[in-house]
Chains A and B, each alone.
Chain A
């Protein structure tokens, strides 16, 4: 009784929690509507889910306008500019994924209500992740975003590949969680607290303690699984290929970004003094991930697998700024936020084109893109823009993301950073070699079976294409747009 009485309810800042609550409310609403109206409500589901995401953006905007940094639960949950930018990014990516899902899920006759409920739940986990500054809240957010994703990956119940995808993802995900939890327990044992602030203070002064190093490494490795960094990437291609394509896009973009966000908070807020462990670890992992992801991508014949390995390699690029986390922290965070924002749109766009083309060809082989330019010039041009962006060729958006990496590396200076810069440069070239294979098919090859019927693109996919193309080009031509988000977020992330 004594203990219970001593518990005092922590002060809740309802405004700060409004985005999470809105999402939760809509997730629940969808389930309730489903229970009451059953099949008759199916058509309304994607709309309802989409409205839910857009409605969640409203409190985020009001919080951004308000501008004060809000911290709750003894610093475990922080709402600052950094978290708001990322929350918005997750919601917008989620919205595009829902646009991509509408016809796919309906035509496939899959469970619709559950699909959208799970997607909103997973997004709730991501939205929470960007505010978590505590080992426990990070873990809770991670599981909240992962568990629905395991189920979504296996959504095509009839297909063995989809089942394989879900199972593989689940087993690897759980294993990663276990490794991470062990690391967290070690760190907690050392620091005596789970908040990042306390951990930062404690770890900074325990230089030589091998337990600290082990704990840090285990936590980082756990997240390396999540962001499919080499050598912890092996689940990704199978899961990506087997999962329904919109889910693949969701995993490749939103889920990976969530892992990166967790890493940012860990590296920059919890382990800022431990560059002796963090920098070499990420130098190695980044170089490996870029190079091996790219080299394996060269050999793929399936477009989704190609995008999967390209995603692995892109993840490698995103890990680069961590390698100079202590030498140039401000630039590193900026580069990461910018990279994540641009990556989200260019990759979602590429997956949208894949979805649209598959509606006609019913195939994922790269060869099936032959002659696309002749019968669907719009899609071919769109895909060209996205691939050019992924390869980092101006004026499509990706160049500014790569530029951010180089900028962080050179700001840090020194031989190691410059060396990593050269690795990035070489990988940029390798990456183009396989993006070019798709370009070659679309532009240079004839249509494989002479079937030149145009592709009917449903309205939702058109909307998804429009959003992603406009964003990708805008980031490329006026990078200041996204650059400002990066700049705003830096200061508060470091301060928090």
Chain B
């Protein structure tokens, strides 16, 4: 499809408009607080409008192909190009990222956490946004790497400056873990660059992800693929985060300011899982097949470990953070099955987890703001004190535990089901064991989420807060939360909204993996 006129610009606009906004905000003096907030919000909203245009213009009949492709020279000396494009896999994630950022800006409008300084806060959120949007549309490994890294520093500062008590430790831990992963990731990217061959055995020497998807690792022997995959596994697995690299996550989430947690949960973690589906598996199918049982194992350990971790938590935000570990375990299990069904479920799970856990973090943030604590034992009676917020918490908890009819269900249930019959010649017995363990994980999930809801929302408010007036959901919060709530219901009732878009890409990937598996 030839891309012409305005369409050649749309992806770049969606990516760079927030950055332009950030630069403009930087030039506005601090004293003009309303103006700079408006500029920040405006730039992210225009980016969202561009996103809507992309969603409308997108040819859903050809969701498996890259659209709006732009291919321009960038770093000629290393043969890296500015290639952006999006297909059915990128589209939902790009939209998620485009939606979340303005909502976070609105939520923060009057709620800049201590020590204030809305200018810096908004600038960092906008830079973060550019990094996330860019990662989802990059079709060149080096470009992807640059965007992937751009998100690090803003998030580091968001946690470090506006975070809780232990923010220094948490922000550094987050950064060092991710940096280590990405250093190994870039080594793997370079290995792919130097080793990839086309069908006739010619060296390709390209970072073009389209080409590398097409050749699907032909010409790289299996043992090498396993090593390169290991590097990618570290890069993406730490970001997801997978057990045992998850330890940065509870700290980062607990200490981050509310919108930091929301963006972390809603979008940043998805960069990892997206990397597996977009890069690791299609580029190195044999490596993926060799690693799949181990990924599955770590995924189910993550599910159970995350759930047990939740049961032990005394802090509401930390509990939600551990639930993220468990949920990302389901996503990774879906990916590890290497089936069409499983990976589709995983992509759905990414979106669902983004909406639901993002919502939970929003509520946690608002609770913290009102009670100045998130210690579960001190909370209670939220339904009495602030009934709307209490019900929203209940709703999000239900969605999170995978209640059918809400979005969470479609991420979890098919992922578990797909493990019954894994693809690419993976051991059925093994994956069925994983399936049973994952199913137990859902029971635990119901346990800890309902227990959380019970302890915080039911009953009378604790003595400590008995006389206090607790404000219910306010206007800014409604504006920020309603889209999340609508999304959770909409995708729950009508999951094909996402499945239809992602399926073409995913079936393309699994077909090539199956072909390799059958051939070897």
Contacts and interface: CB of A to CB of B under 8 A. Distances in A.
A440 B149 contact: no
A70 interface: no
A425 B184 contact: yes
Interface residues of A, number: 40
Contact of A433 (B74, B153, B172, B194): B172
A291 to B, nearest CB: 14
A424 B186 CA distance: 12
A432 B175 contact: yes
B187 A422 contact: yes
A421 interface: yes
Contact of A425 (B153, B156, B187): B187
A373 B186 CA distance: 32
B78 interface: yes
Interface in A188-229: none
A246 interface: no
A377 B150 CA distance: 20
Contacts of B172: 433, 436, 440
Nearest to A426: B180
A486 interface: yes
Given A403-B186, A410-B194, A436-B175, A444 B160 contact: yes
Contact of B149 (A399, A418, A421): A399
A483 B190 contact: no
Contacts of B167: 444
B176 to A, nearest CB: 5
B149 A394 contact: yes
With a 10 A CB-CB cut-off, give which of A388, A407, A428, A444 has the most chain B CB atoms: A444
A406 interface: yes
Contacts of A433: 172, 176
B180 A429 contact: yes
B168 interface: yes
Contacts of B183: 424-426, 428-429
A444 B160 CA distance: 6
Nearest to B176: A429
A445 to B, nearest CB: 9
Interface in B58-85: 73-78
Interface string A4-32: 00000000000000000000000000000
A406 B231 CA distance: 13
Given A399-B146, A436-B175, A407 B190 contact: yes
Given A403-B186, A440-B168, A425 B77 contact: no
Given A436-B175, A483-B77, A411 B194 contact: yes
A443 interface: yes
B152 interface: yes
A425 B180 contact: yes
B311 interface: no
Query: In terms of DSSP, what is the predominant structure of the interface of chain B?
Result: helix
Interface string B149-189: 11011001100110000011000100110011001101100
Contacts of A425: 180, 183-184, 187
A487 B77 contact: yes
A232 B187 CA distance: 30
B145 interface: yes
Given A425-B187, A436-B175, A479 B75 contact: yes
A168 to B, nearest CB: 34
A484 B77 contact: yes
A478 B76 CA distance: 10
Nearest to B185: A425
A486 B149 contact: no
A483 B194 contact: no
Contacts, number: 94
What class of interface size applies to chain B in its complex with A?
Answer: 20 to 34
Nearest to A377: B120
B450 interface: no
Interface in A375-434: 377, 384, 388, 391, 393-395, 399-400, 402-403, 406-407, 410-411, 413, 418, 421-422, 424-426, 428-429, 432-433
B117 to A, nearest CB: 8
A448 interface: no
B191 interface: yes
A443 B75 contact: no
Nearest to B178: A429
Nearest to B190: A410
Contact of A393 (B78, B120, B152, B168): B152
A480 B120 CA distance: 31
A432 B176 contact: yes
B77 A486 contact: yes
Interface string B478-496: 0000000000000000000
A301 B186 CA distance: 32
A105 to B, nearest CB: 33
Nearest to B127: A395
A444 B157 CA distance: 8
Contacts of A444: 160-161, 167-168
B179 A440 contact: no
A406 B146 contact: no
A377 B74 CA distance: 31
A426 B177 CA distance: 11
A483 B75 contact: yes
B187 A406 contact: yes
B66 to A, nearest CB: 23
B187 A410 contact: yes
A163 to B, nearest CB: 38
Contacts of A400: 75
A153 B408 CA distance: 66
A395 B176 contact: no
Contacts of B152: 393
Contacts of B120: 373, 377
Given A429-B176, A432-B175, A406 B78 contact: no
Contacts of B193: 407, 410
B180 A483 contact: no
A399 B185 CA distance: 13
A384 B120 CA distance: 14
Contact of A407 (B78, B149, B176, B179): B78
Interface string B38-69: 00000000000000000000000000000000
B74 A480 contact: yes
Interface in A443-496: 443-444, 478-480, 483-484, 486-487
Given A393-B149, A394-B145, A432 B179 contact: yes
B146 A395 contact: yes
Contacts of B146: 394-395, 399
B191 A410 contact: yes
A428 B184 CA distance: 10
Contact of B190 (A395, A406, A439, A479): A406
A400 B75 CA distance: 10
A197 B182 CA distance: 42
B398 to A, nearest CB: 38
A149 B122 CA distance: 46
Interface in B85-138: 120
Interface in B186-202: 186-187, 190-191, 193-194
Contacts of A479: 75, 77-78
A399 B176 CA distance: 16
24 contacts: A377-B120, A393-B152, A393-B179, A394-B145, A394-B149, A395-B149, A395-B150, A399-B149, A403-B78, A403-B142, A418-B187, A421-B187, A428-B183, A429-B176, A429-B179, A432-B176, A436-B156, A443-B160, A444-B161, A444-B167, A478-B74, A479-B78, A480-B75, A483-B76
Given A403-B142, A407-B190, 16 more contacts: A388-B153, A394-B150, A399-B146, A399-B149, A413-B194, A421-B187, A426-B183, A428-B183, A429-B180, A432-B175, A439-B156, A444-B167, A478-B74, A480-B75, A483-B76, A484-B77
Interface of B: 73-78, 120, 142, 145-146, 149-150, 152-153, 156-157, 160-161, 167-168, 172, 175-176, 179-180, 183-184, 186-187, 190-191, 193-194
